[in-house]
């Protein structure tokens, strides 16, 4: 018997059905239907949470007023949604950090320069430019006060960083956009 639920159903039957092909087939058929039902229920439950939603992302985007772009990877769409959900409240460095980390998935530092009427978002453990930067910029523009300017600081690999750390094979497999001056 291939069905998990079919085997479970069969275990509830009296022992004299163990050799009955009719009952085995019946429990297998019912089990397959129950397996499909449980899978559908679990899939529907996943749509209630941004981190697990797939086909329900459009509903989340509609509720939060975010335009749907099916060409973006699901993870980027989830990051936009999570950031929007996190972005409520009084503007602060912690709020910017929370929103930025939802997009990047790594550590972000936020520093304010009050004399310049601005702040900087620095990506600490991400090399190069994060793939979802334009969405992050839009989210930060939405939550920051209009009089503050925002700057972004990125980390790149430098010659001094790779001299004693990376082998030639590792170096050859590292994309150029992770290096300073790389495309």
Rg of the chain (C-alpha set): 25
**What is the span of the domain harbouring residue 7?**
1-47
107 lies in the same domain as 166: yes
- How many structural domains are present in the chain? 3
168 lies in the same domain as 118: yes
102 lies in the same domain as 156: yes
17 lies in the same domain as 81: no
Give the pLDDT mean for 78-89.
80
183 located within any domain: no
31 located within any domain: yes
Q: What is the CATH number of the domain that holds 149?
A: 3.30.70
What pLDDT is attached to residue 142?
86
64, 88, 112: which is the final residue of a domain? 88
For residue 30, is pLDDT > 90?
A: yes
- Ranking 41-45, 157-161, 171-175 by mean pLDDT, the lowest is 157-161
Q: Could you give the maximum distance between any two Cα atoms of the chain, in Å?
A: 85
pLDDT tens digits, 68-78:
999 999 998 99
72 lies in the same domain as 10: no
What pLDDT is attached to residue 131?
82
The pTM for the full model equals 0.55
Alpha carbon distances (Å) from 35 to 12, 45, 71: 17, 15, 32
Confidence of residue 33 (pLDDT cuts 50, 70, 90): very high
83 lies in the same domain as 103: no
144 lies in the same domain as 161: yes
118 located within any domain: yes
Q: Are 169 and 163 contacting, i.e. CB atoms less than 8 angstroms apart? A: no
Confidence of residue 113 (pLDDT cuts 50, 70, 90): very high
The pairs formed by 109-112 with CB atoms below 8 angstroms and a separation of 24 or more are none
59 located within any domain: yes
100 lies in the same domain as 173: yes
55 lies in the same domain as 42: no
What pLDDT is attached to residue 8?
94
Confidence of residue 25 (pLDDT cuts 50, 70, 90): very high
For residue 121, is pLDDT > 80?
A: yes
124 lies in the same domain as 112: yes
What pLDDT is attached to residue 16?
93
78 lies in the same domain as 30: no
């Amino acid at each position: 018997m291939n069905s998990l639920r079919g085997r479970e159903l069969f275990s509830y039957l009296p022992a004299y059905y163990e050799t009955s092909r009719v009952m085995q087939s019946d429990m297998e058929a019912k089990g397959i239907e129950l397996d499909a039902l449980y899978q559908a229920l679990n899939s529907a439950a996943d749509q209630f949470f941004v981190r697990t939603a797939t086909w329900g992302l459009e509903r989340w985007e509609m509720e939060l007023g975010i335009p749907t772009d099916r060409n973006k990877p699901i993870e980027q769409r989830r990051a936009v949604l999570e950031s929007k959900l996190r972005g409520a409240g009084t503007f602060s460095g912690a709020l910017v950090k929370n929103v930025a980390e939802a997009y990047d998935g790594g550590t972000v530092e936020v520093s304010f320069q009050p004399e310049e009427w601005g702040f900087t978002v620095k990506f600490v453990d991400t090399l190069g430019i994060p793939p979802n930067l334009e969405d992050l910029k839009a989210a930060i523009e939405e939550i920051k006060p209009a009089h503050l300017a925002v700057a972004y600081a990125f980390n790149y690999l430098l010659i001094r960083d790779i001299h004693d750390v990376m082998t030639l094979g590792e170096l050859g497999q590292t994309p150029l956009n992770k290096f300073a001056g790389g495309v």
